[in-house]
Structure 1
Amino acid sequence: MAVLVAGALPLISRKGRNGLLQYGLMLLGAWLLWRIKYYFALPLFGVLAVLVLMGWLERRRYPYQKVLLLGGMALLLIGVGLSQLHPNFYPSRFFEVLHWNYEAMVALSEPGRHLQFGGLEPTPLSVLQHSPKALAGGLLMPLPLLPPLLEPAYLLAGLENLLLLGLIVASLLKLYQRRRGVQLPPQALVLCGYVCLLAIAMAIASPNFGSLLRYRTAYLPFAVFLMLYWLFPLPWRKRVTP
């Protein structure tokens, strides 16, 4: 994943050199990610493609609203196309696969060591109803609050999640304080959507805390980057006016 993102960054920002080595890194990273974790690869392919498109639109001075609109439409179309690359992503099967994975992982997990979504059904509405809890679980669980989770490994993970909770609260407070006139970059909104969707999907498909801690490495770095970038903006982020 890191190889793919590193290869795509010059295309997104138009900073750095674009050459055969860069495109080779992108292809290698895409192939490796597809072979290892296709369910991480497809969402990331779509997000990177939209980020490249948004960067292209901004460099041609498209208005902010039009960049959002065209980027959203492109994300939808690309998502529909990419969903045809693997049977588990077919719209007719996706929610059934999600539900089957949840039931299988719960059956293999010890009591108190997994997320629970009571009444979950393989339907879009049911998944949507459980999405808030899944989002919180995908980002912040496990927390070191229950006796079964006070073992060293879970305790360390819980302390990390408490730090993440602090970052989330601080980010939301700053966003609330600057709610008037704030205009978040379109790329940040796309990445936020990617983080939220993947956190929800991973929390439901892999509710066991041990596996969830491993799988969230696909989206947690993006979440931390966005929060740190928002809380501690770098000097070069500011525009220089003559």
Structure 2
Amino acid sequence: MSGLQHRLIHFESMMTVFFHILLISTIFVLIYRKTANGDDKMVFFTFSLLKICCGILIGFLYWSFYGGIGDTIYFYEQAEVLFQYFHGDRISFSSWVGFSPLNLSLAEFSAQYEPRTFFFVRCISFLYAFSQGNYFTMSIYLSFFSGLATWGFAYQLGKCCRMQKRAIYVALLFIPSITFWSSGLLKESLMTMSIYGLGYAVLMWKNNYKNWIYSMPILVCLLVLWQVKYYVPIVLIPILCLALFFSQSNFLSKFRFRTKIALFLALLIIGGLGMALMHPVFNSGRFFELVRISHDVIARNSSVAIIHFQNTENNILFFIKNLPLAWFTGVFRPLVWESFNAFSMLWAIEKGVFTVLVLIASFLSFKMKFNQTEKWWGIAILIYSSILSSVLSLATPNFGTLIRYEVAYMPFLWLLVLMTLNKYKVNLK
């Protein structure tokens, strides 16, 4: 390669980086200007910068500390493979975007073996093409847009609960492990984008029932969630619908609270089963078997980060017997003495702080009165988080994996705890 060609390639690379910086900066400035309050502007600026830094740090963590091994590297490499097959006319455009079969062997493209991974890889292969294959540019984009969705939800929720704004911002934006592991070139970034995008659209629609334009992003977010983390919408949709209904319905006021709780749980079971049976994992009747298989595979490949559960021959008995420990693990572990490296120690300290705050909030909650909306959303968060924390902990008995998976539910537990503490503080004034 001649010196001129090398300089041209370098110039083209610099122009590409400049273009992406300009695009992200433009989007940032537009949203920054629409943020009315000065304090909110500072929070948005800090959080956006933090998310981008987290996306870059995740790349360095996997490329350097883990030696180029890990999910994010695999996703990137498979996205590259898929795009190169399209670029080299090995597959058609319709096959690339998903309108027709790929007709590739597993040896040629292994990501298609697992549907959720295949969906995510296909999505980021478009980002690969747009960013010209730069891993860190792709990571920054996913982190930034994941952060935008989170900010949009937190900002709207803060407008609905002005006295709780600081608690909302801390819980959703600045819990270290959650902010970090919802960034980068990982499925959790896309999942976070979808969950909070859904939350934002629901809040906007709730404020104006006649504006059906928000039904479109709701459907898109649910579709993406179903494809990338199917268990989240299976649990989330019935709980979200019931919480919206019970917190707003006046005709339920004539019933005692215990009766309403029984009705809520009955409808939740019916709705949850209806949602679950739409997915092959559940309608095949192999749910408990597949949880056990996932547990055993991950346990065999884990060492210091393994989570130990009691072993039984029967899959259903294994699930039931370990359910309490799985719930406790998903919410409160690792404990400080269970940490196995510097990263897990930081996470354990964070969980220790959370545990102390839970104990304080639980004690103070008996001294406060909660309105109907607060009660039902609190119940909804507890049920949603309990289901996900229990099943995910049992199916993935590895602390290194669990720290990423808990991004789906831990922000809402932090939200519940911090809002309870803040309510008590406000009531004292």
Superposition TM-score tier, normalisation by shorter sequence: 0.7 to 0.9
Partner of 1:31: 223
Q: Report % sequence identity.
A: 22
**1:158-195 C-alpha deviation (Å, 9 max, x unpaired):** 111111111221122224x5499998713311221111
Partner of 2:347: 157
- Counting matched residue pairs gives 231
d(CA) in 1 for partners of 2:306 and 2:224? Answer: 29
1:138-149 equivalence runs, <5 A = 138-146=330-338, 149=339
Partner of 1:114: 306
Structure 2 residues without counterparts, runs of 5 or longer: 1-194
Amino acid at match of 1:131: L
d(CA) in 1 for partners of 2:409 and 2:251? Answer: 27
Greater helix proportion: 2
Partner of 2:14: none
**Match among 8, 14, 21 for residue 202 of structure 2:** 8
Deviation of 1:234 after TM superposition, in Å, equals 7.9
Query: Do the aligned residues in 2 keep the contact of 1:68 with 1:186 (CA within 8 Å)?
Result: no
Closer/same/farther in 2, CA of residues 16 and 231 from structure 1, 3 Å limit: farther
* TM-score between the two structures when normalised by the length of structure 1: 0.83
d(CA) in 2 for partners of 1:189 and 1:181? Answer: 12
1:1-242 equivalence runs, <5 A = 1-10=195-204, 14-16=206-208, 18-58=210-250, 61-65=253-257, 66-90=259-283, 92-110=285-303, 112-146=304-338, 149-175=339-365, 177-178=366-367, 185-233=375-423
d(CA) in 2 for partners of 1:40 and 1:63? Answer: 31
Deviation of 1:222 after TM superposition, in Å, equals 1.1
Query: Do the aligned residues in 2 keep the contact of 1:99 with 1:120 (CA within 8 Å)?
Result: no
Query: Do the aligned residues in 1 keep the contact of 2:310 with 2:318 (CA within 8 Å)?
Result: no
Deviation of 1:231 after TM superposition, in Å, equals 1.8
* TM-score between the two structures when normalised by the length of structure 2: 0.49
Larger Rg: 2
Deviation of 1:125 after TM superposition, in Å, equals 3.8
d(CA) in 2 for partners of 1:64 and 1:77? Answer: 21
Amino acid at match of 1:2: Y
Structure 1 residues without counterparts, runs of 5 or longer: 238-242
Deviation of 1:79 after TM superposition, in Å, equals 0.9
Query: Do the aligned residues in 1 keep the contact of 2:330 with 2:402 (CA within 8 Å)?
Result: yes
Query: Do the aligned residues in 1 keep the contact of 2:333 with 2:351 (CA within 8 Å)?
Result: yes
Query: Do the aligned residues in 1 keep the contact of 2:364 with 2:424 (CA within 8 Å)?
Result: no
Amino acid at match of 2:217: L
d(CA) in 2 for partners of 1:105 and 1:92? Answer: 22
d(CA) in 1 for partners of 2:394 and 2:317? Answer: 14
**1:179-221 C-alpha deviation (Å, 9 max, x unpaired):** 9999871331122111111111011001111110000011101
Deviation of 1:105 after TM superposition, in Å, equals 0.7
**1:4-37 C-alpha deviation (Å, 9 max, x unpaired):** 12222356xx435652332122111111111111
